Amino acid sequence: MSLTAGIVGLPNVGKSTLFNAITKAGAEMANYPFATIDPNVGMVEVPDSRLDRIQELIPAKKVVPTTFEFTDIAGIVKGASKGEGLGNKFLENIRQVDAIVHVVRAFDDDNITHVAGKIDPIDDIETINLELGLSDLEAVDKRLGKVQRAAKGSDKAAKAELAVLNRIKPVLEAGKSVRTMDFDEDETPIVKGLFLLTSKPVLYVANIAEDDMADPENSKYFKSIQDYAAKEGAEAIAVAAEPEEEIAELDDDEKADFLEAEGVKEPGLNRLIRASYKLLGLETFFTAGGKETKAWTFRKGTKAPQAAGIIHSDFERGFIRAEVMAFDDLDKLKTENAVKDAGKLRVEGKDYVMQDGDIVEFRFNV
């Protein structure tokens, strides 16, 4: 079930630097384009202040955050869909990921090569999105060739797919992303099955200058990136990849000092990680007390037995019920007993849809 967020962007914009900052995986970072060829894969811990609060109220021996996967992908250049740069190979790498974290250079530094020779974030974003769109257009045309024939007969599925393809094609031809379109519940699975690059959810990350860290709104580039994202219904986040990568290597005390010196409350990386997690449709439940207080990742919409199965397959097989309290209730009322007395400790059955922030004890019998 492991979902992965793919880091995508032009060459030499700081993708691997960002990847290392969040995963501490030590991928190669270098001041030349196409330093990354094969994708780097790494796990990222999800920073979650709720864990600390639970630990404060229901102390356990250990606190274990949850993790999810990031993939650092090679840079894309203009003409990539036609084989320029690393060509179609990396487009395949992008096809494998579940959401796109699109890194855009938003810092000036004459020492760091920009493949286009100038800093223009919107132009950069459009270059990438155009290549992804062209690749999608090719895929749609190929599919149309097949489906058109089948749709001539009585093949209902083919007719439905044909209708979707015919809606998508002009949007791509106009240079827009498929994610800007609305699909109904019959169309959605058809679109999913096409694995189009521009239908993947996206988060724009402005790699800003260190000087703008304390106040990203001050960056002369960030606002335009935010506006571009908003038009697509997407989010944009500002991170200074290089200093953040240095911060990530420090221990907690040094980290606090560094952040204070930079005038930053929380590392931009934390916001980036949380936004990517959300982008993937991931949510968190907790198990608390005893040996460990632990955060667990589930896909939005998961029911209680399947959530139990994330901990152990026996929990799912022998699922009886889930005893659930919301984090917010524990936070307010402070003890499990107080939550119970307030009638907010719930007993939920096999059809219960898990909610982000649930603190759960599963009852099972095998």
Ligand X SMILES: Nc1nc2c(ncn2[C@@H]2O[C@H](COP(=O)(O)OP(=O)(O)OP(=O)(O)O)[C@@H](O)[C@H]2O)c(=O)[nH]1
Q: Would you count residue 214 as binding ligand X (CB under 6 A)?
A: no
Do 225 and 236 meet the contact criterion of CB atoms below 8 Å apart? yes
Residues 157-176 that bind ligand X (CB under 6 A): none
**Which is nearer to Mg ion, 15 or 200 (by Cβ)?**
15
**Shortest Cβ 103–ligand X spacing (Å):** 7
3-state helix, strand, coil in the chain (%, to 5): 45, 20, 35
**Which is nearer to Mg ion, 240 or 359 (by Cβ)?**
240
The alpha-carbon radius of gyration of the chain (Å, integer) is: 23
Type of residue numbered 252: D
**Shortest Cβ 254–Mg ion spacing (Å):** 26
Q: Which of 44, 94, 236, 240 binds ligand X (CB under 6 A)?
A: 240
Q: Would you count residue 213 as binding ligand X (CB under 6 A)?
A: no
Residue 33 binding: pick among ligand X, Mg ion, none (C-beta 5-8 Å cut-off by kind): ligand X
Residues 3-32 that bind ligand X (CB under 6 A): 9, 11-17, 29-31
Residue 31 binding: pick among Mg ion, ligand X, none (C-beta 5-8 Å cut-off by kind): ligand X
- Per the annotation, does 340 bind a ligand? no
30 closest CA partner among 247, 211, 242:
242
**Shortest Cβ 175–ligand X spacing (Å):** 23
What single-letter DSSP state applies at residue 146?
A: H
Residue 310 binding: pick among Mg ion, ligand X, none (C-beta 5-8 Å cut-off by kind): none
**Shortest Cβ 22–ligand X spacing (Å):** 12
When CB distances to ligand X are compared, the closest residue is: 75
Q: How far apart are the first and last CA of the chain?
A: 24
Type of residue numbered 99: A
- Per the annotation, does 142 bind a ligand? no
Residue 11 binding: pick among Mg ion, ligand X, none (C-beta 5-8 Å cut-off by kind): ligand X
Residue 171: CA count within 13 A, CB half-sphere: 19
- Which residues here bind Mg ion, judged by CB under 5 A? 15-16, 35-36
Which residues is 237 bridged to in the sheet? 205
Which ranges constitute the DSSP H helices of the chain?
Answer: 15-23, 49-57, 88-95, 121-152, 156-173, 187-193, 222-231, 241-248, 252-262, 268-279, 304-311, 313-317, 327-333, 336-341
Burial 321-342 (b: 16+ CB within 10 A, else e): bbebbbbebbeebeebeebeee
What is residue 286's three-state secondary structure? strand
**Shortest Cβ 211–Mg ion spacing (Å):** 24
Tokens 């992008």 belong to residue: 94
Rounded distance between C-alpha atoms, residue 329 and residue 71, angstroms? 36
Do 67 and 2 meet the contact criterion of CB atoms below 8 Å apart? no
**Which is nearer to ligand X, 34 or 364 (by Cβ)?**
34
Per-position x/- string for 45-74, each x denoting binding to ligand X as judged by CB under 6 A, each - no binding: -----------------------------x
Residue 109 binding: pick among Mg ion, ligand X, none (C-beta 5-8 Å cut-off by kind): ligand X
**Shortest Cβ 320–ligand X spacing (Å):** 49
Task: Give residues in contact with ligand X (CB under 6 A).
Answer: 9, 11-17, 29-31, 33-36, 74-75, 107, 109, 112, 207, 240-242
Residues annotated as binding site?
12-17
